[in-house]
Structure 1
Amino acid sequence: MKKNKKVLVLSGLLVLAMVAGVLAYFNKTTTINNPFSTKSYGGETVEKFNPGEGEDWEPGATVEKLVTATNTGDYPLYVRVKFDETWTRKNESAAFIDIKAGDAAIEPGATAKKILNVFQTKDAAGENDGIANVNADDTVVAKNLVNITGTDAKWIDGKDGYFYYYKPLEPTDSTEALLESVTLAQDADMGLYGSVITYALCADPDKKLTAPPADAVWKSEAELLAGSGAATVADFMKLDRNKGMALFTKNTSALEAGLSGYADANYLLTITTDFVQTSADALTAAGWTLPAGVQ
């Protein structure tokens, strides 16, 4: 009997050992690190331009404006440039001329993007009437472009308002210049001038005044005669109330209203440089279509 009990105990231990063996799993973790890194994209536009040379810009005058682009990143990039321009009156905020790059007509060859017409209207005699023609997509400012013609041209006209650099721009490299100067057309319409007559009525009981005082108030003829009942300046001075008064007359040359042309205005040339990755997907996503001749 005792022997049977020992057999049972040994059998139970054997069963437990078998169960314990089934539950003992192998468990181990191994890792392999795969390091990757990225570099950066970057670009900048550089120009040589002295703003002081653009002040008091006269017809026929040329101002240096040398423009290039530089790849400041670590990967090659395609580059394109466009020019937009506006003319705004000095006392107004809205532009009276707004020319977009895509609007400008393009003349092939050496004159591309230069003056095609000096847009201004003519009077019956064929003379300038001082009115800028806002319906013409053209410009009185020549953008004097370089490196756009010949077998060694570095910029290609895309016919879409942009000029494209002829190949991908490598890191740290700069393009050859595209723009070197701008010139205001020699016959740009500088407005129609007329005479403006104003009057200053000053006290002069001793008749010693030889010039109007600094605080004299200048009025138009209508303003001077208003409420006096006089029809002319001569009749006005005969009025009793004007005894002991001196009348000074000033004739000023001034632009006629609505006939200012490009006088007394500000010109703004906006140069936009776009950079994009050289992959086909990047070009498609950016909406670029490279013109023939770009590598």
Structure 2
Amino acid sequence: MKQRKSKKKIKIAKHLFLFTSSVIILVMVSLGIYQTYAALTDRDKVQNDFRVGNIQTEIEEEFTPPNTFVPDKVYEKKVVVKNTGEQDIFVRVLALPSIIKKQDNGSVLLLPATSEGTNPILSIDYNLTDWIDGKDGYFYYKKKVAKAGQTTVLFTKVQMNQANITEDYTDASLTFEIKAEAIGITKFAYRDAWWNAQIPSKVPLLDVDNLLKGQTSNS
């Protein structure tokens, strides 16, 4: 994207809404040389309750809201899932970034929000040591999570890459939904709940199955 000769400053508002199962980050983007301002809440903690019997999880984030939110700047966001229930569990997390833009006619345009491949729009440091990207929208934790335990971080940093943003992204907003799902370790409850009782035939889900099946319990 060519840099404009004139320096254009566009004030934007970034509001962070907290939902039961999602994190919403609104980011307004400008072109050329610019400065972006944000109005953030003083808390960025997401709680998600997913109950099946006595299974319960909670999403928790560590996040210190900045006074400004600027593309190309790295922001720390540490996402973990806690087991607040009464039994050991397996965990998967939906991490779904999307970028939308309201059109003049009132419709909404969905823009690419890639974090992989060439020229990614977003940079997110997913922890692929302890988690597996299932390529189905979910990240699967490799180990069972004991009662009162928690996962390691799913990711810690988020960045929007200005160099890969076209003018279509002007005044667009970034939505990042985080949703946790948990299931007991009874053999083979995770297959029933997540894959319609089927054994995956292809990687990476086959890799997930191979890791989890040895950690299941008969009761």
TM-score normalised over the length of structure 2: 0.58
Contact 1:156–1:291 at 8 Å: present in 2 too?
A: no
Q: 1:284: how far off?
A: 3.3
| Superposed displacement of residue 183, structure 1 | 1.3
Alpha-carbon distance in 2 for matches of 1:264, 1:116: 24
Which residue is 2:180 aligned to? 273
Q: Distance in 2 between matches of 1:270 and 1:276?
A: 20
Q: Distance in 2 between matches of 1:98 and 1:275?
A: 29
Task: Give the drift of 1:190.
Answer: 4.1
Residue number in structure 1 paired with 2:203: none
| 1:117 matched residue in structure 2 | 118
Query: After superposition, where does 1:85-164 map in structure 2 within 5 Å?
Result: 85-89=97-101, 94-97=108-111, 114-118=115-119, 139-146=120-127, 148=128, 153-164=129-140
Instruction: Decide whether the 8 Å contact of 2:102 with 2:108 is kept in 1.
Output: no
Q: In percent, how many aligned pairs have the same letter?
A: 26
CA distance in 1, matches of 2:178, 2:134: 16
1:66-89 Cα offsets, whole Å, 9 max, x none, are 100000011001001122122122
Which residue of 2 is the match for residue 215 of structure 1? none
1:274 deviates by 1.0
1:292 counterpart (210, 213, 217): 210
- Largest Rg, 1 or 2: 1
Where 1:276 maps in the other structure, the secondary structure is strand
What's 2:141 paired with? Answer: 165
The residue that corresponds to 1:66 in the other structure is 78
SS of equivalent residue, structure 2 residue 156: strand
| Residues 157 and 83 of structure 1: CA distance in aligned 2, closer, same or farther (over 3 Å) | same
Seen in structure 2, the aligned counterparts of structure 1 residues 45 and 285 have a Cα distance that, compared at 3 Å, is same
Distance 1:292 1:270, change over 3 A: same
What TM-score do the two structures reach when normalised by structure 1?
Answer: 0.44
Q: Does 1:188 align with 2:164?
A: yes
Amino acid at match of 1:45: I
**More helix per residue: 1 or 2?**
1
Q: Which runs of 5+ in 2 are unaligned?
A: 1-52, 201-207
Matched residue SS, 1:179: coil
What is the aligned length?
148
Deviations 1:201-241 (A, max 9, x none): xxxxxxxxxxxxxxxxxxxxxxxxxxxxxxxxxxxxxxxxx
Alpha-carbon spacing, 1:95–1:44, altered in 2? closer, same or farther (3 Å): farther
Structure 1 residue 156 displacement after superposition: 2.3
Q: Compute the displacement of 1:178 (Å).
A: 1.3
**How far 1:40 moved relative to its partner?**
2.3
SS at match of 1:169: coil
Q: Secondary structure at the match of 1:292?
A: helix
Question: Which structure 1 residue ranges, 5 or more long, are not aligned?
Answer: 1-38, 105-113, 119-138, 192-260
- Note closer, same or farther for the CA distance 1:51–1:88 as it changes in structure 2 (3 Å cut): farther
Alignment match, 2:59 = 45
CA-to-partner distance for each residue in 1:130-179, whole Å, 9 max, x for gaps?
A: xxxxxxxxx51111122x2xxxx321233433221111100100111111
Q: Report the Cα distance in structure 2 between the residues aligned to 1:274 and 1:52, rounded to whole angstroms.
A: 30
After superposition, give the CA deviation of every residue in 1:60-118 in whole Å (9 maximum; x if it has no partner): 2211111000000110010011221221225656242266xxxx7xxxxxxxxx43133
